[in-house]
Amino acid sequence: MATKVLVLGGGSGGLVAANKVKKLLGREVEVTLVDKNAYHEFMPAYPWVAFGMREPEQVRRPLGNLAKRGIEYLQATVEALDPANNKVKTSAGELSYDYLVVSLGAEALPVPAKDSYAPWSLEGALRLREALKNFKGGRVVVGVSGPYYPCPPAPYEVAGQVEFALKVKGVREKSTVDVFHLNPLPLAGMGPVISGKVMEILRSKGIAFHGEFEPVAFEGGKVKAKDGRELPYDLLILTPPFAPNRVVRESPLAGPQGFPEVHKGTFRSPKFPNVFVIGDTVNPSLMLPPAGVVAHFQGEYVAGVIASDLKGAYIGEPFNPVAMCIMDFGDNALLPQCSFERLLAGTGMPSCGVMAVGKWVRVTKMLFEGFWFATLIE
Ligand SMILES: Cc1cc2nc3c(=O)[nH]c(=O)nc-3n(C[C@H](O)[C@H](O)[C@H](O)COP(=O)(O)OP(=O)(O)OC[C@H]3O[C@@H](n4cnc5c(N)ncnc54)[C@H](O)[C@@H]3O)c2cc1C
């Protein structure tokens, strides 16, 4: 009888894991992917939707397409995990499995500023597009409401893209763009080379950066920081606060901070060895960034570990603790690359460098979007 592999979440990590495990094991496995959403969405393109470069249909594909790859897709909400009994409770009934891969992402909590916008979801991107349509120029502020949000570089990309959009609209001269963050410098965790390059691009676009800015109140059209600084705004773009997915937080997999406990090198649960947790649900607790590229490599890796369990030999990919992120600033782009090897081992900072910079780098992000859909869900 085929081994049942259940994948929870059809985002970056889940989509890769489901494809890879099916590719490695063929008929030896029955792969089912569960997601509440009918579509896989390519989240790096949300800002492009906000700035009018893409329509929603262009940045998502029906998860039902997975049938062509021999993967069963079930549209259902995951309600509870019961790893002691190899069961998952969903809105479509109870499911059982031999192996479970959990990639349910991070969960957005209510935003502290009701008048803010966030292209951190497709709906959020469309709301921001509507606001920009009516924007006649003024003070734009982009910032974070907490330290944990998908894609650490995205606020800087959004600031760059909004600045470019204002130029195109012809209202740049009457506008200011400011970015605030809890960190002292942009992407401080990636080291001085990356921070320096991002600062250089922001400066060249006339965007002011405010570091160590911890927002404590959003009142009267101003963001107020703990140390008394204030940033007035006419348009506020703010990351919502995020937490590890509720289903995982409330399950026997969760550790004291709400993040699931997994082995750092294999992403396997120490208590339930047939369960793996990958992606944004777990990465901040492993000192890995909540980024699609990391979830992607984890998905490939855990598929290999499952294949190895079943075949009795290691036949997968080694986990690649590397992240490359194409940062699109609208009229400029940067491709930083980081290895998190030392961070995972607890021996030091990530080692990062700039692979490319320039307008043309934007094109590589668009090419990657096409490659992503073509290889995983078309
Ligand atoms: C604006 C923006 C730009 C980004 N740009 C980049 C980039 O350039 N490069 C990069 O590497 N990363 C980028 N990211 C981050 C990247 O998209 C995420 O880190 C990645 O998608 C995380 O993958 P995941 O599988 O952990 O979770 P997700 O991709 O979030 O997938 C989780 C899935 O689980 C489903 N789900 C959640 N709860 C339930 C439930 N209870 N029942 C059923 N289904 C459920 C969701 O519908 C979703 O499909 C960006 C993110 C954003 C928001």
Three-class secondary structure of residue 230 per DSSP = strand
Determine the distance separating the centroid of ligand 1 and the alpha carbon of 151, expressed in angstroms: 9
Q: Are residues 228 and 256 in the same domain?
A: no
Distance from Cα 44 to the centre of ligand 1, integer Å: 9
Confidence bin at 222 (pLDDT 50/70/90): very high
Residue 146 located in a structural domain: yes
What would the mean pLDDT of 6-26 be, rounded to a whole number?
97
- Nearest alpha-carbon partner for 339 in 355, 328, 327: 355
> Exposed, middle or buried, 93 (CB in 10 Å: 0-12/13-18/19+)?
exposed
H-run or E-run covering 139: strand 139-144
Same domain, 118 and 216: yes
| Pocket flag, ligand 1, residue 119 (CB < 6 Å) | yes
DSSP-derived 3-state class of residue 229? coil
pLDDT at site 321: 87
Residue-range definition of the domain harbouring residue 156: 110-238
Rounded Cα distance between 139 and 315, Å, is 54
pLDDT for position 209: 98
Closest CA to 209 of 195, 189, 222: 195
Q: How far is the CA of 150 from the centre of ligand 1 (A)?
A: 7
Percentage above 90 pLDDT, the chain = 89
- Measured CA distances, 219 to 143, 175, 237, 242, 314 (Å): 15, 21, 15, 22, 56
With a 6 Å cutoff on the Cβ, whether 316 touches ligand 1 is no
Q: Residue 314: pLDDT band by 50, 70, 90 thresholds?
A: confident
Please indicate, yes or no, whether residues 147 and 56 belong to a single structural domain of this protein. Answer: no
Which residue, by CA, sits nearest to atom 3 of ligand 1?
44
Mark whether 8 and 126 lie in a shared domain.
no
For the chain, the maximum distance between any two Cα atoms, rounded to a whole number of angstroms, is 68
Please tell me the total count of domains within the chain.
2
Residues 230, 281 within the same domain? no
Task: Check residue 313 and give its pLDDT.
Answer: 83
Residues 6+ apart with CB under 8 A from 249: 243, 258
**Residue 291 has what pLDDT?**
95
Q: Report whether 35 contacts 63 (CB < 8 A).
A: yes
Residue 221 CA, ligand 1 centroid: distance in Å: 30
Rg (CA), the chain: 21
Last residue within a domain, chosen from 238, 270, 293? 238
Domain boundary pick from 311, 335, 357: 311
pLDDT in tens, 50-83: 999 999 999 999 999 999 999 999 999 999 999 9
Substitution candidate for ligand 1 out of 60, 145, 151, 337 with most atoms within 8 A of CB: 151
Cβ 161 under 6 angstroms from ligand 1: no
